[in-house]
Structure 1
Amino acid sequence: MDDINETGEVQQQSSDDPDLSHNRGIPSHPRRGDELPSELHQTPSEEKRCCYHCKLMQSKSHMGEDLIVEKVFGRLGPPAQQPRKTKFHPKRGKCGQGTNVFRERPEDDELEILNVILLQKNNLIAPKSVKKGDIILAAKPFVHVLTTSSRGIRCEACFEKRTLRCHCACKYAAYCSPTCLNNDKENHEDECFYIRKNKLNPTSDTLRFMMRFLFKMRNHGERVADLVPGLAKPRTFRDLLDHYDDINGSSRGALVKNYYEETLRFMGLEDAPDPDYFLECYGRMAINSFHILDEHQEAIGAALYLGPSVMDHSCIPNAAVSFEGTNMIVRTLIDRDEIDFSKVFISYIDLLDHKHHRREHLRKHYYFECLCERCQDPDFERSMFCVSCVQCSNAIFIGFGESRDELSPERCSNCDYEIDEHFLEKYVEVCSMVWNRINTHQMAMESAKLCLKLMVKSRFTPLHIYFIKTTEIAFENHLSLMEDPEFDVEENEELLETALFHGRNLLTGYSKYSQHHWSHEGLYLLKVAELEFVLGFNKDCTRHLQRAKEILTISLGKVAASTQLARIDTLLALL
């Protein structure tokens, strides 16, 4: 997941979300880890940093001998090759009361299974074969948090958009009913205590999310688990990788230190955990968290799910994630003789990109090198880097990458034309400009038009990855204009036709590079079909609606995609 938006209180800072902005409300997946909204990666401003430095946690002069106890490892149990500090803080119980530290993994019969009712409801207890679109896993959140943009609009417990009738004593959390208020007591009780004690709200959603993890763990969160079909043991928080050394040895380590200082400021020196334990929890949170998406497939929160965190990444995912309230539902995109989660893969990242960018993103944020079939296939993505031959318009592979050193253009296979150096210099210049604007999310409508014009002039093919990504932005820019209540269809027919042109080009790219049923492809099919309906392309509209219905039903299910499926059925009835 991306970082979560800053809270909207007077004393809080706000920021844009760089990870979400390029998706413009259509996430390619409920993203994990670094993909929580932007505040989760924002550095607290200087004036808001705690006066205590992290090193004070090891200073006896600030803490006193009586508050230092010995430990072998943090209670989550680090791998042997990752020795931690030899000192740590005793953890506190509810509202600052003392409690014993739970060091050992509980026995299976001592665990509280979060998702057992959901598994029983979906008939997932006994092994079985499944067809594409079937549910293979369901889970309740271990910890979750509502985004700032949704606070005051959606209930803190069920995340539904309802009238918020019940407010907690801290005036920070609001609920749609007394039932939801009571159901969220475990998640909010400690948080509420510190908000009222400090008369201070969390300075970011990231901080709030992280503190909820800490509260959960000190209140025996290690005794909570999920069942995963096919796994011998229930999955607990200890089973998640913390990437302690990876984070501590990177620029991300400085970011964690800033969050830790904010935690000290909010919880106080006596109640806050030691920095090593904090980093262990942060690593598990940042790498394994997901966006929670609403009925429009827009992010409204973030959560960590113990069972679904077992799923690995592939650039050819064979499973998809959707949400029913705060519960996660995992569906298979292929037929399976049995449910084996060592063979179940989702995508952590935007798949409409080439392997160099995908691998760079995965190394930076998830600390592994993707070795999936798509990443290792030298030919699958050649069309992402092709230009049209000057003489015959045949596609010519120009080489993976954007710099001159990375290019190795081939001769035209049709007429033997050879690309000259001047062409290559211009190509590199256009690539650099377009990628910088895509990567920094600075591509308004006029900018997208300019980039597309330059790429056409430089003979980029419609399947070139930069052409597709810019087309996606142009399409969304046009759709955003139509959301104006005063938008008149008859007066803007030319704009509708331009939007449809971009939408159809975008679908060409998706049909080329998608391997299974991508939910975002289904969403774009529906948007294109709606334009075709307005402009009278009934045959194409019917075809695209039927395809969209198939994809969304398989990847998201009838509950998560209910809004889109209702629109599809309405249009089909009118055709």
Structure 2
Amino acid sequence: MAQETEMRAKKLVHEGSTIHKEKPFVYVLSSKVRTEYCDFCMKKGKFLKCSGCHYVYYCGKICQKDAWNVHKFECRNLKRIAPRTLPDAARLLARLIHILRKGGDLTKSYYLENCFRMYKDLMSHYPNIKGDQQRMEHFTSLCAVLFDFLGDDSLPNSAELMGMYGRMCINSFNIIDQELQCLGTGMYLGASVIDHSCNPNAVAIFEGPILHIRALKTLQYLDWSEIRISYIDVLNTTKDRQKELEAAYYFLCQCPRCLAPEPPEINAAACPNDQCDNYIDAESASANDKCGKCGAAITENFLELFKQVIEFTDIHLQNMKQLAYFDVCEICLQKQRGVLHKFNIKHVKTLDLAFQSSIDFQKWDFARTYALELVDAFHKYYGQMHPITGLLHLKLGKILVFEEKDAFAFDHLTKAYQILKITHGVNSTIFKEELIPLLQQTRMTVPR
């Protein structure tokens, strides 16, 4: 038996293979979308409101019945505290308390035939949490909320509760839809075995709350010690990625991408000659230096302008972390043109926000322009095989179909096909119901 298991483990893993599939140990739908998605299966549709708490919604009687085992303990309390609502983190922690009291600590989540993880295998990071002022403030506020919601008798002691909080913080996944919009948060015991890399060989994709880990590259065999996903958005400098990982997960990444020199364009200025596509290392450049490609002079005024635009952009990117404003993005981009290089990470981030907000406001001309500028940058920073890159091609293809530019649309939809069949899979909703019909539609009008 051991030999058979080893032989299966040594089998070639093709790119696009689902190497792990798992239901959440505990999860919660985001309160921001609670009236738009089913609280149990996380699908969109027509809903029934829970007649008890009037807070959660279900897509039908089946989901309501399946959810009752977890929802019944919170239903009366949600009704009791109304019209106040429970923060998502507090609701997730309350559900975790309930599940553990019902024997959840004995749950085994298998990632191989004979390998599994249990709740006790998750690290609590107790000393790190204790020394983290921001998280301690959050934990203290959650304790007050939970005391009001559950009552003193239902709460574990403070040390045990902090251990739960630490495990929740470090091991939670953002549950995202197929367009990578956040729908909620969940803990997955088996998948918690997977470490991080800024250059991952696997990706986490969701169908409702069900987690799928898919291989982005062909692997000689499945070795879980070598499987890596990215815990964060990698569209950032190494310094900022390291800062984010240390703050959220208490480690410094040592992946090849973090150890390698950064692309020189990532913090660069554009060449003052608008006919030249070279980059200028503004940090080391001084007045009277020249572009190494075209010989254009680098003036003191240009370096000062670069510094001002970077500071201006930083302020607005920080302010738009939760919500992008189209007009603000436009102002930032106007200031950046001719000053920041096209691959400067702050310019790319601004373009991305401008693209998303232009779609929200149905400004299709702007959206197409921004998407076309983003394509090369996304391939550079996310890589050729990444769900974000695939979705960019899909969205651009949809815009071009709307504009009746089918030949261009077909090209981008084909690129989306090549990526999304790996990252999402041919049976995913977005692949079957969105991409394939558009491809078939445009293929019929493209000259052969």
Q: Specify if TM > 0.5.
A: yes
Structure 1 residues 180 and 445, CA, compared in 2 at 3 Å: closer, same or farther? closer
1:571 aligns with 2:441: yes
> Is the Cα contact below 8 Å between 2:272 and 2:297 reproduced in 1?
no
> Which amino acid in structure 2 is aligned with residue 448 of structure 1?
C
Structure 1 residues 200 and 235, CA, compared in 2 at 3 Å: closer, same or farther? farther
- In the other structure, the counterpart of 1:440 is 319
Aligned-residue offset at 1:213: 0.7
> Is the Cα contact below 8 Å between 1:462 and 1:468 reproduced in 2?
yes
> Which amino acid in structure 2 is aligned with residue 381 of structure 1?
P
Q: Which has the higher contact order (CA 8 A, sep 6+)?
A: 1
Aligned residue for 1:155, secondary structure, equals coil
> Which amino acid in structure 2 is aligned with residue 508 of structure 1?
D
Q: Write out per-residue CA displacement over residues 76-100 of structure 1, whole angstroms, 9 at most, x where no aligned residue.
A: xxxxxxxxxxxxxxxxxxxxxxxxx
The runs of 5 or more residues in structure 2 that have no matched partner are: none
- In the other structure, the counterpart of 2:341 is 461
- In the other structure, the counterpart of 1:141 is 24
In the alignment, the residues of structure 2 paired with residue 157 and residue 181 of structure 1 have an alpha-carbon distance, to the nearest angstrom, of 7
Structure 1 residues 516 and 556, CA, compared in 2 at 3 Å: closer, same or farther? same
In the alignment, the residues of structure 2 paired with residue 455 and residue 464 of structure 1 have an alpha-carbon distance, to the nearest angstrom, of 10
Aligned residue for 1:301, secondary structure, equals strand
Aligned-residue offset at 1:301: 2.1
> Is the Cα contact below 8 Å between 2:278 and 2:293 reproduced in 1?
no
Q: 2:265 aligns with which of 379, 383, 389?
A: 383
In the alignment, the residues of structure 2 paired with residue 385 and residue 200 of structure 1 have an alpha-carbon distance, to the nearest angstrom, of 48
Q: How many residues align?
A: 431
Structure 1 residues 216 and 474, CA, compared in 2 at 3 Å: closer, same or farther? same
- In the other structure, the counterpart of 1:238 is 120
Q: TM-score, normalised by structure 2?
A: 0.88
Matches within 5 A, 1:270-349: 270-349=153-232
Matches within 5 A, 1:221-232: 221-229=104-112
Aligned-residue offset at 1:167: 2.9
In the alignment, the residues of structure 2 paired with residue 253 and residue 415 of structure 1 have an alpha-carbon distance, to the nearest angstrom, of 54
Q: Write out per-residue CA displacement over residues 498-556 of structure 1, whole angstroms, 9 at most, x where no aligned residue.
A: 43221110112112222241111111111212233344544332221111011111101
> Is the Cα contact below 8 Å between 1:359 and 1:370 reproduced in 2?
yes
> Is the Cα contact below 8 Å between 1:295 and 1:563 reproduced in 2?
no
> Is the Cα contact below 8 Å between 1:124 and 1:229 reproduced in 2?
no
Moved over 4 A (4+): 123-126, 196-202, 415-418
- What is the root-mean-square deviation in Å for CA atoms of aligned residues? 2.6
1:266 aligns with 2:136: no
1:508 aligns with 2:376: yes
Aligned-residue offset at 1:426: 2.0
Aligned residue for 2:152, secondary structure, equals coil
1:351 aligns with 2:234: yes
> Is the Cα contact below 8 Å between 1:526 and 1:544 reproduced in 2?
yes
User: Identity across aligned pairs (percent)?
Assistant: 27
> Is the Cα contact below 8 Å between 2:272 and 2:338 reproduced in 1?
no
- In the other structure, the counterpart of 2:255 is 372
Structure 1 residues 201 and 447, CA, compared in 2 at 3 Å: closer, same or farther? closer
Aligned residue for 2:269, secondary structure, equals strand
- In the other structure, the counterpart of 1:559 is 428
Aligned-residue offset at 1:153: 3.5
> Which amino acid in structure 2 is aligned with residue 513 of structure 1?
Y
1:218 aligns with 2:218: no
- In the other structure, the counterpart of 1:250 is 132
Q: Write out per-residue CA displacement over residues 269-304 of structure 1, whole angstroms, 9 at most, x where no aligned residue.
A: 122111111111111111211222234442222211
1:475 aligns with 2:355: yes
In the alignment, the residues of structure 2 paired with residue 164 and residue 443 of structure 1 have an alpha-carbon distance, to the nearest angstrom, of 29
The runs of 5 or more residues in structure 1 that have no matched partner are: 1-122, 400-406, 483-494
> Which amino acid in structure 1 is aligned with residue 249 of structure 2?
Y
Structure 1 residues 448 and 179, CA, compared in 2 at 3 Å: closer, same or farther? closer
- Structure having the higher helix fraction is 2
